[in-house]
Amino acid sequence: MKWLSAAVLLLLSAQATAAMWTITYPRPLSEADMRDEYPRALLTLALEKTGVKYTLLPSERILLQGKALRQLRESREVNVVWSMTDSQREKDLLPIRIPIAKGLIGLRVFLINQQKQSSFAAVSSQSELISLAPIQGEEWPDTKILQANGFNVLTVPDYPEAFSMLNQNRGDFFPRSVIEVINELEETERNPDIILEPDLAIYYPTAMYFFVNRGDTTLARLIETGLRRAIEDGSFDALFMSTHEEMLNRLNIPHRKVFKMDNPLLPEKTPLNDPELWLNLEELQD
């Protein structure tokens, strides 16, 4: 019955191409919040590669990560979210297992209050770093990853509260992905006492995916098809490098001491053995 399965796929593909898709993603915190610019650009690229007719819209209200994921699970307000993966999220939602940031979501540098600089200047080993307290969101996968590696993690309800903690000198550092931190530092309302720690980083293997509702298999297939085509013709990597190369240079990654951590939350189906999907961390440090 292989011919029947192929016919069904062709029919679904034809229906998807003919339909007008309204794709809604979580509205960012503000118009100045540029952290979502690359995922939106990549999603646009993927949809263009499929040839579908679509409208890409932000949700009517601001949705922070935890709320956005819950709304997606319940098929409300949004029908696509990009987020770091873990086993629970892959049970609740349907992941498109192509790491959209090529693994850089797991390479973390530190936002600190400048009054803490001397504490980090003295760090020469992983055990010394673990003695310092990171700040993370209550529902973020990073929290459990850091706890599993021995950190005493201070948790907050969501992203904005982490900066309040740093402002008050509660907690020692806020680990941020290299793909996020430059935009965060450049936000005009940021307290000037919050600075980028210059010499250290941590890395744990993980992926940021596009997620859709578990019942939305056609949309998942469309996005994956578009991403695969963009990988094959080089436009995925071209967008990735044009977005991130300058940022990696500014962060001086080759000269940072990078502490490698374990990730016990990494789902078994993470495509770690497909090198074209990941940026080689060793090459960054050559």
DSSP letters for 161-178: HHHHHHHTT-SSBEEEET
- Three-class secondary structure of residue 159 per DSSP: helix
Please answer whether residues 95 and 165 qualify as being in contact, where contact means their C-beta atoms are separated by less than 8 angstroms.
Answer: no
Q: Is the dihedral of CA 204, 205, 210, 214 positive or negative?
A: negative
Q: In sequence order, which residues have a C-beta less than 8 Å from that of residue 133 and are 6 or more positions away?
A: 151, 152, 153, 154, 171, 172, 173
Q: What is the mean pLDDT of residues 131-140?
A: 94
pLDDT tens digits, 141-166: 999 999 999 999 999 998 889 989 99
Model pLDDT for residues 80-96, shown as the tens digit of each residue: 999 999 999 999 999 99
Query: What confidence score (pLDDT) does residue 32 get?
Result: 64
Region 108-113: what's the mean pLDDT? Answer: 96
Structure tokens belonging to residue 52? 């579908």
How confident is the model at residue 57, as a pLDDT?
95
Pair 211, 139: CB distance under 8 Å:
no
Q: Model pTM?
A: 0.87
pLDDT at 192: 86
In this structure, of 53-57, 61-65, 212-216, the range with the lowest mean pLDDT score is 61-65
Q: How far apart are CA 153 and CA 54, in angstroms?
A: 42
Element (H, E) at 209: strand 208-212
- Residue 1: pLDDT band with limits 50, 70, 90: very low
CA 219/CA 6 separation, integer angstroms: 18
| Long-range CB contact pairs, 238-244, < 8 A, 24+ | 239/38, 239/41, 239/42, 239/45, 240/38, 240/42, 240/101, 240/102, 243/37, 243/38, 243/41, 244/38, 244/104, 244/178, 244/179
The predicted model gives 111-132 an average pLDDT of 95
Give the confidence band of 186 by pLDDT, cuts at 50, 70, 90.
confident
